[in-house]
Amino acid sequence: MLKKQRLEFILSKLNSIYPKTPIPLNHSNNFQLLISVLLSAQCTDERVNKVTPELFEKGFNSYEMSKFSREQIYKIIRPCGLAPQKSKAIYTLSRILLEKYNGEVPNSLKELEKLPGVGHKTASVVISQGFGVPAFPVDTHIHRLAQRWKLTNGKSVIQTERDLKRLFPIESWNKLHLQIIFYGREYCKARSCYGLECMICKTCFPERKRKIKTKK
């Protein structure tokens, strides 16, 4: 199968399996989305969704969250892991949003990346899912599947993002990155398939015999 055919098949298959792509992290506004994505670093979405109801009950926006002490935030988010760093980031960024952005989350990738605890991936998720700005956040699932599907050499997450943006139409990015995540969690898992068993891998690479080792 030629690369162009492979891309068309992947898009078609993912659209048929996941016609709708609900955002996995529960939130009511972009501030809550930002905090939830920050908490999801090295933590499952399921665990984040169990922790955030208590956090957002009173800290539902940057103004209310700024009333919390670091210790209060720490106690609530502790199950998410990396709590010392994450509680400090939430405590600080809530105040920065109030001081510099009138309490609102900026819709600029550059401005978001200036906030404590917010890296490129977190910022990309927020502008994509919160503001609808085309972006292609790359997590471990996307990085793995892009290599198994021979869409990137996997040299780095940055390279994978560049390659996927080049290969797929910009209007597909916001939905597609979630579709690939869902597919990676359900069918092409880290410790199964290995580029040999799922429907996309088998269809795109019917002659493949050896397991694909992916770079992290």
139 included as an active-site residue: yes
Q: Which residues contact 116 (CB under 8 A, 6 or more apart)?
A: 88, 89, 92, 93, 96
Catalytic site residue from 13, 45, 88, 139? 139
Can you tell me which residue has the tokens 């992947």? 10
Contacts 24+ apart (CB under 8 A), 4-12: 6/149, 6/150, 6/204, 7/151, 7/167, 7/168, 9/200, 9/203, 9/204, 10/149, 10/200, 10/204, 11/168, 11/172, 11/176
Give which of 30, 34, 27 is closest to 93, Cα–Cα.
34
Point out the residues that are catalytic. Answer: 121, 139
